[in-house]
Chain A
C-alpha cells in the first residue's frame, strides 16, 4: 500500500508544481534557519571534556569584605597556594594566562605575542592534554621554579617545522625557557580551564610554563585578564600579598564522596582563615561547581546565540503554519477524489495514511533543501567575525537532527489537513458532483 500511496502523492505533488515548490521552500527556509542557529548553540554549549567533566570541580571562596551573596569567582594568591599545597583532591592545579612577547630560536626574528598559560604539573593529566613529544614538567619543576615550557603543536610547527624540539629553547621576553614537551592537537572549546584570560572561544594557547616560575619572573606579568582587587594596591607586579582575586583553581575529585568531603574541607578552610583574621564576613560563602555548572555560571554561551535560536524557531513555526494552511486547502480541494476512494471501499485510515505520505514527502524534500540552506547558513556564520565562528560545522548528530526535525515537522503539519480530508462524507460530495 505504501508504494501506491507514494505514487499517488508524487502524482498529486506534480500536478500542482508551484504550490508544491511553495510548501517545500517554506519548510526548507524554516528548517535551514533553525538548524543553523541550533548547530551554533549546540556547539557552544557542548561539553569540552565529555569523559571527565563530572570529576572536575572549581572551588570558590569569599575572602573579600564586600557583603557578597555568592562566593568570588577567582582566588587570591594566598588561598590558591594554600589549597594547592593542601593536596586534598586527587589532582589540583592553578591556572592564569596572559599574552607574552615570545622570540623564536632564529636570531633577529620578529617577536610574537603568544597566549601563555602559567599552571602546575597536574594541568596536563587532569585535562587529558595530548602530548606528542617529550612530556609535561614534573611537580619537582614546580617546586624548583624551573624555566621549562610546553608548547602547542601549532607553535612547534611554526618555529621548528613540526620536528621534535625537546631540549631547544624559546625566549619569553628576556628569559630563556627549555622546551620539555610538545602538545598534540588540542583545541578544547570553550577554553573552559581559563575563562578569565582571553575569550572562552578564542583560539588555543601556545606556551605553558610552571606557575611558580611565572611568579619568580613576576615582570613577565602573567596576571590574567580579569584581576579584581577589593582594596588599593601597593604593588602592581608582585601580587602575592595584594588584596586581589586573579587565579583560577581546578581540582579533580574522582567520586561524589570525595567531592562532598572537599566541600566540607572548603568550609573548614574558610573558618580557619577567619580564625587567623584573614576572612571577615559573618557568613562565609563557599561553593564547588563542577565543570558544566561552572560554564553555566559564567554564561559561556552568549545570550545573543540563544536569542537567535528562539527567533529562528519562531520563524519555523510560522513556516509550518503556512504549510498546514496550504496542505489543508489542497487536501480539501480533493474532496471529490477522496469520496470516490471512500465509496470504492477505502477506510478512513487508508485515506489518512495516503495524505500523511504526501505531507511526509514534502517534509523530506524540505529537509534536503533545508540542509543545504543550513550548510550555507553555517558557512555564513563562519565568515562572521565572532570568536566562535570557526566552530560552526555540521556534525553527524546535527545532520540527523535536521532530517528528523524536517520530517516530524512536516508530518505534524500534515496531521490536521489529513484528518480533515479523511472526514469527508462520501455521499454528500458524490451527490453534489
Chain B
C-alpha cells in the first residue's frame, strides 16, 4: 500500500480532514475523562460496608423519650423477634452509609495530651454484631456484662470493638485486643476486632475508622431498629415490623424504613445518576463521531468516483480501493488520537484542579486509541465498500 497518494490527496482536503481530526481529538479527550470519571464513581460504589447487606432491614422511629424507654424498647425487640423470617433484632444509633454519624476524637493516653484521629461511634443493644452481620477477626464479641447504661450520649461500658482499619491506624504492627483509648478521662478497652464496618458516610481512608460501643436501650438508644431476616422475607418484614411498632406504641412516628439495599442505593443515588449520564454522553459521542466519519467519507467517495474508475481501469483491484479508504481513515484517526491524548491530559489537569480527581492513568491511552481506531474502521467500511464497487467503466464516461 502506497501512502504517497493518500497523503497528497489529504493535503488537498486540509480543512475537511483537519475538522475530522479535531472532532476525533475532542471526542477522545472527553471519552477518556468521562470513562475515568465513571470508573471513579463505580469504585466508590463498590465499597464493602461489612454488614450482611442482603439480610438487613431497618425501621427508624422518633425514639422513646421517657424513663420507661428501656422496658418499652425491650418489649418492641421481643415482639419484632417473633415475626416470621426474623433471625436477630437490635436497636442501634446508626448504620453504615446512613448519612448520619456521631464522631469523636479520642486521646491515646490517660493525661489527654496525645490526640487520636476522628472516629465514628456505633452503639447497639445486645446482639447487634450478629444482627448487623459483622464478622469478628480477633478477640471476642460483647457478652451480657459488657452492656451498660448511657451517660447522655456516652456509653458507660468500657468495652469496645474496633475495625481492623482503625486498629492498624491506632496501633500499627501491634495486637489491638487489650489496647485502650480515652474519651474525656474515661478509658475504653478493645476486646475485639472486626473485619470491616463503614461509618455513616464515606471519608476516603477514614471511612472505616469505626469503634463499636455496647449499651442497653435508653432514650438515647431507642430510635433505629435493625432486623436480620431471610432475604426473601425482607419486604414483608419491613411492612410487618412497621405495623407492629405502630400497634405497640400508639404515638410512635415512623420516620423512615426500608431494606439495607435501599439505604445503600440511596447513598449512591447521585453517583449512579452521574455515571449513567456520563455513559450516555460517551455512547452519543461515539455515535456522532462515527456518523461524521461516514458522512464525510461518503462525500469523498462520491467526489472521487471518476478517479476511482480510472484507477480501476488501469488495474487497481477492488481490494486496493477498499484499502485506500481504510488507510486514509487510519491516518486521520491516528492524527486525531495523538492530538486527543494531549487534550485528554489537559482536560484531566483542569478537572483535577476543580474536582477531587486523581491523575488519568496512562493505560487509558492505548485502550482509548484502540477503541477509536476500531470505530473509525467500522464507520469507514460502508462508504469504502461503495467506493470499491465503482465499476471501471465510469472512467470512460464524462460527468
A contact set with B: CB distance below 8 Å = 19, 22, 25-26, 29-30, 33, 99, 101, 103, 110-113, 219, 232-233, 235-236, 302-304, 307-308, 311-312, 314-315, 317-319, 321-322, 324-326, 328-330, 332-333, 384-386, 416, 420, 433
- Minimum CB–CB distance from A295 to chain B (whole Å) comes to 18
B299 within 8 A of A: yes
**A325 with B253: CB separation less than 8 A:** no
B16 within 8 A of A: yes
* CA–CA, A99 and B30, complex, Å: 43
B364 within 8 A of A: no
- Minimum CB–CB distance from A33 to chain B (whole Å) comes to 7
B240 within 8 A of A: no
Q: Taking A314-B26, A384-B273 as contacts, is the C-beta distance between A322 and B292 under 8 angstroms?
A: yes
**A385 with B269: CB separation less than 8 A:** yes
> Which residue of A is nearest B23, CB measured?
A321
**B288 with A333: CB separation less than 8 A:** no
* CA–CA, A427 and B285, complex, Å: 41
Q: Taking A322-B292, A325-B19 as contacts, is the C-beta distance between A101 and B253 under 8 angstroms?
A: yes
**A325 with B355: CB separation less than 8 A:** no
Partner of A318 from B289, B299, B300 at Cβ < 8 Å: B289
Specify which chain B residues have a CB less than 8 angstroms from the CB of A29 in the assembled complex. Answer: 284, 288
Partner of B302 from A112, A319, A333, A420 at Cβ < 8 Å: A333
* CA–CA, A312 and B270, complex, Å: 17
* CA–CA, A335 and B20, complex, Å: 21
Nearest 6 CB-CB pairs, A to B? A329-B299, A322-B292, A321-B23, A325-B19, A111-B253, A385-B269
**A315 with B62: CB separation less than 8 A:** no
- Minimum CB–CB distance from A38 to chain B (whole Å) comes to 14
Q: Please encode chain B, from 134 to 164, with 1 for each CB lying within 8 Å of some chain A CB and 0 for all others.
A: 0000000000000000001100000000000
Specify which chain A residues have a CB less than 8 angstroms from the CB of B37 in the assembled complex. Answer: 307
* CA–CA, A433 and B383, complex, Å: 25
Judged by DSSP, the binding face of B is helix
**A333 with B303: CB separation less than 8 A:** yes
- The CB with the most chain B CB atoms within 10 A, among A101, A318, A328, A333, is that of A318
> Which residue of A is nearest B302, CB measured?
A333
Partner of A321 from B22, B65, B269, B399 at Cβ < 8 Å: B22
Specify which chain B residues have a CB less than 8 angstroms from the CB of A303 in the assembled complex. Answer: 354-355
Q: Please encode chain B, from 258 to 290, with 1 for each CB lying within 8 Å of some chain A CB and 0 for all others.
A: 000000001001100110011001001100110
* CA–CA, A420 and B19, complex, Å: 14
Specify which chain B residues have a CB less than 8 angstroms from the CB of A318 in the assembled complex. Answer: 23, 26-27, 30, 285, 288-289
- Minimum CB–CB distance from B135 to chain A (whole Å) comes to 32
B contact set with A: CB distance below 8 Å = 15-16, 19-20, 22-23, 26-27, 30, 34, 37, 62, 65, 152-153, 184, 246, 251-253, 255, 266, 269-270, 273-274, 277-278, 281, 284-285, 288-289, 291-292, 295-296, 298-300, 302-303, 354-355, 399
Specify which chain A residues have a CB less than 8 angstroms from the CB of B289 in the assembled complex. Answer: 318, 322
**A304 with B274: CB separation less than 8 A:** yes
**A33 with B281: CB separation less than 8 A:** yes
Partner of B23 from A233, A312, A322 at Cβ < 8 Å: A322
Specify which chain A residues have a CB less than 8 angstroms from the CB of B292 in the assembled complex. Answer: 26, 321-322, 325-326
Q: Can you list 15 A-B pairs with a CB-CB distance of less than 8 A?
A: A26-B291, A26-B292, A33-B284, A111-B251, A232-B184, A235-B152, A236-B153, A303-B354, A311-B34, A318-B23, A319-B288, A325-B296, A326-B299, A329-B300, A385-B273
* CA–CA, A302 and B37, complex, Å: 16
* CA–CA, A224 and B27, complex, Å: 46
Partner of A101 from B26, B62, B269, B291 at Cβ < 8 Å: B62
Specify which chain A residues have a CB less than 8 angstroms from the CB of B253 in the assembled complex. Answer: 101, 111-113
* CA–CA, A317 and B24, complex, Å: 11
Specify which chain B residues have a CB less than 8 angstroms from the CB of A110 in the assembled complex. Answer: 246
List 16 additional contacts besides A311-B34, A318-B30; criterion CB under 8 Å.
Answer: A33-B281, A33-B284, A101-B251, A113-B255, A219-B65, A311-B281, A315-B30, A322-B23, A325-B295, A326-B295, A329-B296, A329-B299, A330-B299, A333-B302, A386-B270, A386-B273
* CA–CA, A202 and B153, complex, Å: 29
**B19 with A328: CB separation less than 8 A:** yes
A-B CB pair tally, cutoff 8 Å: 112
- Minimum CB–CB distance from B362 to chain A (whole Å) comes to 22
* CA–CA, A385 and B65, complex, Å: 33
Specify which chain B residues have a CB less than 8 angstroms from the CB of A314 in the assembled complex. Answer: 26, 30
**B26 with A322: CB separation less than 8 A:** no
Specify which chain A residues have a CB less than 8 angstroms from the CB of B152 in the assembled complex. Answer: 233, 235-236
- Minimum CB–CB distance from A136 to chain B (whole Å) comes to 27
**A322 with B355: CB separation less than 8 A:** no
Specify which chain B residues have a CB less than 8 angstroms from the CB of A324 in the assembled complex. Answer: 19
**A308 with B277: CB separation less than 8 A:** yes
- Minimum CB–CB distance from B364 to chain A (whole Å) comes to 17
Specify which chain A residues have a CB less than 8 angstroms from the CB of B355 in the assembled complex. Answer: 303, 307
Specify which chain A residues have a CB less than 8 angstroms from the CB of B399 in the assembled complex. Answer: 433
- Minimum CB–CB distance from B72 to chain A (whole Å) comes to 16
- Minimum CB–CB distance from A65 to chain B (whole Å) comes to 15
- Minimum CB–CB distance from A311 to chain B (whole Å) comes to 6
- Minimum CB–CB distance from A395 to chain B (whole Å) comes to 22
- Minimum CB–CB distance from B86 to chain A (whole Å) comes to 24
- The CB with the most chain B CB atoms within 10 A, among A325, A328, A416, is that of A325
**A315 with B284: CB separation less than 8 A:** yes
Q: Taking A26-B291, A113-B255, A321-B23 as contacts, is the C-beta distance between A312 and B281 under 8 angstroms?
A: yes
* CA–CA, A302 and B65, complex, Å: 37
* CA–CA, A84 and B116, complex, Å: 38
**B15 with A321: CB separation less than 8 A:** no
* CA–CA, A22 and B294, complex, Å: 10
Q: Taking A233-B152, A304-B274 as contacts, is the C-beta distance between A19 and B281 under 8 angstroms?
A: no
- Minimum CB–CB distance from B239 to chain A (whole Å) comes to 16
Specify which chain A residues have a CB less than 8 angstroms from the CB of B274 in the assembled complex. Answer: 304, 307-308
- Minimum CB–CB distance from B94 to chain A (whole Å) comes to 14
**A317 with B26: CB separation less than 8 A:** yes
**B269 with A386: CB separation less than 8 A:** yes
- Minimum CB–CB distance from B332 to chain A (whole Å) comes to 11
Specify which chain A residues have a CB less than 8 angstroms from the CB of B303 in the assembled complex. Answer: 333
- The CB with the most chain B CB atoms within 10 A, among A19, A26, A233, A433, is that of A26
Specify which chain A residues have a CB less than 8 angstroms from the CB of B302 in the assembled complex. Answer: 333
**A321 with B19: CB separation less than 8 A:** yes
* CA–CA, A148 and B277, complex, Å: 47
Specify which chain B residues have a CB less than 8 angstroms from the CB of A384 in the assembled complex. Answer: 269, 273
Specify which chain A residues have a CB less than 8 angstroms from the CB of B27 in the assembled complex. Answer: 318
* CA–CA, A19 and B298, complex, Å: 10
**B277 with A416: CB separation less than 8 A:** no
* CA–CA, A328 and B13, complex, Å: 10
* CA–CA, A220 and B284, complex, Å: 53
> Which residue of B is nearest A26, CB measured?
B288
Specify which chain B residues have a CB less than 8 angstroms from the CB of A33 in the assembled complex. Answer: 281, 284
Q: Taking A99-B255, A101-B253, A315-B30 as contacts, is the C-beta distance between A333 and B273 under 8 angstroms?
A: no
